[in-house]
Structure 1
Amino acid sequence: MTTYDIQNYLLDRANIHDTVTKMSMYLDMSRIEALKKEVFHTKVLVDYTSMFSGEPKLVNGEEQVDSWAKQISKMDSWQHVTTGILIELPQPGAGVDVPETATVLANCTVNLSRKGAKGDSDTRNGGRYHIELTRTNQAGNPWRISKLKADLVWAAGNWDVYSAMD
């Protein structure tokens, strides 16, 4: 048994926060290769059912990034904001094992614009991410997203902007 000390706890929190923040920032900055390398686990359970119905899907992390890159390439502008990042990890101390997974609850908003969409060119929505991260053997920051669920809370604007994402 390895004791989970305060230094490792604080480093894990910082690394997890960075991984979650990179998910939105790297996508918005079109840093696709960094998004593939630094954010997602090899397999990711993605759940957008509250927005688009269907079923959660287990996908390859790189395939998820490629799907997002294809979708945003059809937009004229986009911004994803992830904030209020609450990280759940065990408190450090004697007899506490180093965690292999962590969960995150965060608020998120998305703004998309596509000229030529039927009706208004903008759509916006907001909700919450429920994220699970798994510790990997990667050098540097070892935390990668292994589950991503988006729960829609509100939506405004023209939902047809999403039709370009098919």
Structure 2
Amino acid sequence: MTKTRKSHSFNFLNSSLLRKYTKMTHSNGTNGVHEASGSSSTYTREEFMFDRDNIKEKLHKMYYLIDMKDWDYIANDCFSPDPVAVDFTDVFGGEPVAVSGQDIANSWKPRVEKLDSSQHCLINLHTYLDAPGSPNVPSTAKAVSSGIVHMKKSNFGASGGSNFHIGVRYEWELERMAPDSDGNPWRITKINCYKVWAEGNELLMHVNTMCEDAPAK
């Protein structure tokens, strides 16, 4: 059976706000990329609210689609086409890296698909944009959030149990670019992730590097 990708975006298709915003972003002939730098247009409250919702939608949708295993969307529609700065060293060790969206999807895929189930919950999300009334429409934004991830792997051979739960804190940076398949122009350019707490079998985070039937310690 062929898997059909479903859209999970906000339904702004019939709103006057979207029509106004689309007209604004396409009027300069730049394939949907708003030329914020040097723009003489004052940043309106409507534009601010639309940007804020699009940023929140981008991050929430990515987190949800990790569990739905939509690696195509994650690889192609979430991240900047330029190398993305990724720092998960507080969780996994190693070093910060600059990698493509495809590299990120390829890294996450085996961790998730070898689990029985996972649930990624993004909470306490706050966005940082220029305030309405600013002289220019912003081309970049920042956000912070908390995250809770639940992982389950039944009959996991290594000692420590079948469940792992971790709470983290994220710092995000995004840039306005060409719209994705849902018309959202915001792409992630940087992710920092910090461990806050953890409970259960931490080996489940590294299940992709272990045998399916790892021997009990």
Q: Does 1:53 align with 2:96?
A: no
Q: Conserved in 2, the CA contact under 8 Å of 1:117 and 1:160?
A: no
Unpaired runs of 5+ in structure 1? none
Match of 2:69 among 25, 30, 44: 30
Judged with a 3 Å threshold, the aligned counterparts in structure 2 of structure 1 residues 83 and 125 are, in CA distance, closer, same or farther, namely same
Write the distance in 1 (CA, Å) between the matches of 2:46 and 2:74.
Answer: 27
TM-score normalised to structure 1 length: 0.93
Which of 150-159 and 68-77 deviates more? Answer: 68-77
Q: What percentage of residue pairs aligned between the two structures are identical?
A: 33
Match of 1:162 among 188, 194, 205: 205
Q: CA deviation at 1:13?
A: 0.4
Q: Does 1:75 align with 2:118?
A: no
Alignment of 1:3-42 (within 5 A): 3-42=42-81
Judged with a 3 Å threshold, the aligned counterparts in structure 2 of structure 1 residues 31 and 117 are, in CA distance, closer, same or farther, namely same
Write the distance in 1 (CA, Å) between the matches of 2:144 and 2:186.
Answer: 15
Q: Conserved in 2, the CA contact under 8 Å of 1:117 and 1:161?
A: no
> Does 1 or 2 have the higher relative contact order (CA < 8 Å, sep 6+)?
1
Larger Cα Rg: Structure 1 or Structure 2? 2
Unpaired runs of 5+ in structure 2? 1-38, 210-217
- Runs of 4+ in structure 1 over 4 Å off: none
Write the distance in 2 (CA, Å) between the matches of 1:109 and 1:117.
Answer: 25
Q: CA deviation at 1:38?
A: 2.4
TM-score normalised to structure 2 length: 0.72
